Amino acid sequence: MSVSGNLMDFLDEPFPDVGTYEDFHTIDWLREKSRDTDRHRKITSKSKESVWEFIKGLLDAWSGWVVMLLIGLLAGTLAGVIDLAVDWMTDLKEGICLSAFWYSHEQCCWTSTETTFEDRDKCPLWQKWSELLVNQSEGASAYILNYLLYILWALLFAFLAVSLVRVFAPYACGSGIPEIKTILSGFIIRGYLGKWTLLIKTVTLVLVVSSGLSLGKEGPLVHVACCCGNFFSSLFSKYSKNEGKRREVLSAAAAAGVSVAFGAPIGGVLFSLEEVSYYFPLKTLWRSFFAALVAAFTLRSINPFGNSRLVLFYVEYHTPWYMAELFPFILLGVFGGLWGTLFIRCNIAWCRRRKTTKLGKYPVLEVIVVTAITAIIAYPNPYTRQSTSELISELFNDCGALESSQLCDYINDPNMTRPVDDIPDRPAGRGVYTAMWQLALALIFKIVITIFTFGMKIPSGLFIPSMAVGAMAGRMVGIGVEQLAYHHHDWIIFRNWCRPGADCVTPGLYAMVGAAACLGGVTRMTVSLVVIMFELTGGLEYIVPLMAAAVTSKWVADAFGKEGIYEAHIHLNGYPFLDVKDEFTHRTLATDVMRPRRGEPPLSVLTQDSMTVEDVETLIKETDYNGFPVVVSRDSERLIGFAQRRELILAISDCQTP
């Protein structure tokens, strides 16, 4: 007993069972698989003994589907609550609803009986802060007051978010996807998927998105869904006692997270398979699909956008695309790849500087400064003042007869008698040219500010800012092609498909393709990206342009480096992650690396037959390695296995306990 007691002193954190893992260690996939096989064999044999054991076997078999159902319900509910809260708090920076302060601008005007169609975004019940405080809606004083209150609200939301993260749940910061990828590969990060992290990330996600910072909620929703998966898997011993089985649940939860983030159930399953999961058996594919389906159904039942659809970006284009348009689509793919490369390099350089300098010691001050700069610059430009999701929705939209956006300020032909859905291309008016300048300035601002925003100590997603950059660039390219085709319809490239009076170019389609290209350049997604985009927008017939842009974006970005933004942050944080997509070109043999240098002691190994328990105890006391290779003998040293240090200590302790 005295020997085992002394030996236990060499454990940093002794656990009561051999099957557990320490924090920041990697699980043994083969052992977890073997344990699950043994458990399943015992259940099968016992189920033949009595009816009760048979029922218990059925409950065990169906427990996985129950967990998926619970994950989908909770993830969908949280996503709906987050969407509604973000909508209200974003509008709160500009004004308040007099009839019910918890209504957003749009909801407030829905309930008003004095709203006209031409002024559907204005109603007496909704008042800006200048109207409420000084009874003025126009003029310099009203503008300055609204400007100052916009900045103050943004600073308040950001300060509350960073304070909550710093005090209660440090793991709630960032996107969460790099850590989710690492956890799904078998790494243990205790507390990262805990209940406190779930609560704080949900609350602070609403605050940071409402503050107007250049970030999105879609990436962090994957982390939120995985926290839900971790919570429900802990309620069932089948998953709580087996880390390998738990990761199957987390893979399905990641699919549910993307499903509610974009309203894309199929894209969510493919995203989990392509981007985050390390081990994805066929059974997990089915359960991921079920979890994504339940989550999407729950979100649809809540209907947070009020449009009877899952997403805010749903559009319907009425013009097919033409082969000649593939050239600008590919150019947008090139832009997306270059933007992705620029962003990754600049963001990683800034995050590395944050880690190695005094800047990292003041996370609250950094968030406040970036929020202040963002709010000050964003307010004068209508395309940066509005929420990023609303901006993308406006950029994706096709210009119909009922649209009031500046982007649809074309010069109309008074003799036009066409149906609403078949409006021909028209010359751009003054509003379109004004919007082009504002979009160009907004594009430069988004590119710069997103580099400094992503990675701060607050929840920060990258999907929506990347899509916004691509959508702005794409919309400008689309308007350029549209006007070129209108004024030069007799050119050979336009002659076959763009006649006078025809509706032949859709600028919103270019925005959608640009958004896909930039998102692909940053994340290096391909198949799941295309599926997410056509589920997101309903543009099923535009798969080929999306595929062309996504593939081009990936090729261009891969030419400068194989790492996406999530892999880059994994390496920046020093997580032990072996990417299945990595290519290793090393030609060194293991014997060349493991052979000790002259004058050094021999390798610390366990031999198959010739070692005693005392020899093992001596080896543990004289070394501080986390594990030892198991070889046939000292002469051959042919590797047959590997034994972890703490497993040896616990096993010897159990054997010597009377």
pTM of whole model > 0.75? yes
- Range of 375-379, 410-414, 421-425 with top mean pLDDT: 375-379
The answer, yes or no, to whether residue 612 has pLDDT greater than 90, is: no
3-state secondary structure of 216: strand
Burial of 118 (0-12, 13-18, 19+ CB in 10 A): exposed
- Give the integer Cα–Cα distance in Å for 158 and 375: 11
Residue with tokens 């763009």: 498
Quote the pLDDT of residue 502.
59
The answer to whether 505 and 558 are in contact (CB under 8 A) is no
Mean pLDDT of 220-232: 95
The answer, yes or no, to whether residue 495 has pLDDT greater than 80, is: no
**CA within 13 Å, CB half, 19:** 13
The answer, yes or no, to whether residue 423 has pLDDT greater than 70, is: no
- Give the integer Cα–Cα distance in Å for 85 and 177: 23
- Give the integer Cα–Cα distance in Å for 442 and 472: 8
The answer, yes or no, to whether residue 115 has pLDDT greater than 60, is: no
Burial of 9 (0-12, 13-18, 19+ CB in 10 A): exposed
The CA-atom distances, in angstroms, between 215 and each of 80, 179, 264, 629 are: 18, 18, 20, 46
Quote the pLDDT of residue 10.
57
Looking at per-residue pLDDT, the higher value among 308 and 598 belongs to 598
Quote the pLDDT of residue 418.
47
- The domains of the chain, with CATH numbers, are 51-113+120-302 (1.10.3080.10), 323-410+424-572 (1.10.3080.10), 590-656 (3.10.580.20)
- Give the integer Cα–Cα distance in Å for 371 and 152: 10
Which backbone phi and psi does 380 adopt, to 5 degrees? -65, -25
Quote the pLDDT of residue 401.
57
Quote the pLDDT of residue 657.
58
The CA-atom distances, in angstroms, between 596 and each of 401, 592, 599, 603, 636 are: 78, 9, 8, 7, 15
Mean pLDDT of 604-610: 85
3-state DSSP helix/strand/coil percent for the chain, to nearest 5?
A: 65, 5, 35
* pLDDT tens for each residue of 524-560: 999 999 998 888 777 778 888 999 999 999 999 999 9
- Give the integer Cα–Cα distance in Å for 108 and 155: 25
96: enclosing H helix or E strand: strand 95-97
For 587, which DSSP code?
-
The CA-atom distances, in angstroms, between 371 and each of 214, 357, 458, 538 are: 9, 21, 12, 34
